[in-house]
């Protein structure tokens, strides 16, 4: 997606060989028109998949999930990250390890909003090691819902998550795939490369 790649080039900050900060349009400030185009693009790529729900993780997934769900005319649900203070039988929960922060968070979603009748599109802002995606897939599995695919705004192609998920047969669509962040420079992966 050209507009997204341009934004990444113009406004992204490469903090290290594995960390890209895009706080100006996705992770802190939000560019609403870009979110709309992202939503339309995902809705197009997953049209005719019978999706009944878009599942994301708070907080950065919410704006693109809202726009994707709006175009698909289905509800969005955001899994919560914070540890629940009270035990709650009415939640599906999974653990997500963050390699960047070296922390493990519990994510959860209410049993009211993910059921065996749902066909779920998982959406997240970044795909790196795939931990968040697998945590969300775990919630979908527990609910008995089926997984239509995974929509990713920015994939770090140099990390393992995307390959691992695709090897499992999951339909993953990423709008920008980064090949490298070396030398403080963003290089995108091109399909042509594999011809």
Q: Which residues bind a copy of itself (CB under 8 A)?
A: 23-25, 28-33, 35-36, 58-59, 62-63, 65-67, 69-70, 73-78, 80, 109-110, 112-113
Q: What is the DSSP letter of 154?
A: E
- Closer residue to a copy of itself, CB minimum distance, 25 or 46: 25
Residue 105: CB atoms within 10 A of its CB come to 19
Which run of H or of E encompasses 71? helix 62-72
The minimum distance between CB 53 and a copy of itself, in angstroms, equals 8
Distance CA 137, CA 164 (A): 13
Residue 30: CB atoms within 10 A of its CB come to 16
The minimum distance between CB 112 and a copy of itself, in angstroms, equals 7
The minimum distance between CB 113 and a copy of itself, in angstroms, equals 4
- Closer residue to a copy of itself, CB minimum distance, 74 or 154: 74
Distance CA 172, CA 81 (A): 23
The minimum distance between CB 35 and a copy of itself, in angstroms, equals 6
Structure tokens at 35: 């979110």
- Closer residue to a copy of itself, CB minimum distance, 76 or 145: 76
């Amino acid at each position: 997606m050209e507009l997204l790649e341009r934004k990444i080039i113009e406004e992204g900050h490469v903090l290290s060989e594995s960390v890209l900060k895009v706080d100006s349009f996705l992770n802190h400030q939000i560019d609403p028109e870009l979110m709309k185009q992202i939503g339309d693009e995902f809705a197009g790529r997953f049209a005719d998949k019978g999706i009944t729900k878009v599942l994301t993780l708070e907080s950065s997934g919410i704006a693109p999930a809202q726009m994707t769900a709006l175009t698909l005319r289905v509800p969005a649900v955001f899994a919560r990250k914070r540890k629940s203070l009270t035990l709650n039988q009415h939640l599906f929960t999974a653990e997500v390890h963050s390699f960047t922060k070296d922390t493990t968070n519990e994510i959860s979603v209410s049993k009211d909003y993910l059921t065996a009748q749902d066909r779920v599109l998982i959406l997240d802002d970044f795909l790196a090691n795939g931990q968040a995606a697998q945590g969300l897939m775990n919630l979908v599995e527990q609910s008995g819902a089926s997984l239509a695919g995974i929509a990713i705004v920015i994939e770090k192609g140099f990390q393992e998550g995307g390959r691992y998920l695709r090897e499992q047969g999951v339909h993953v669509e990423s709008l920008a795939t980064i090949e490298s962040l070396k030398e403080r420079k963003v290089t995108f992966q091109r399909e042509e490369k594999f011809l």
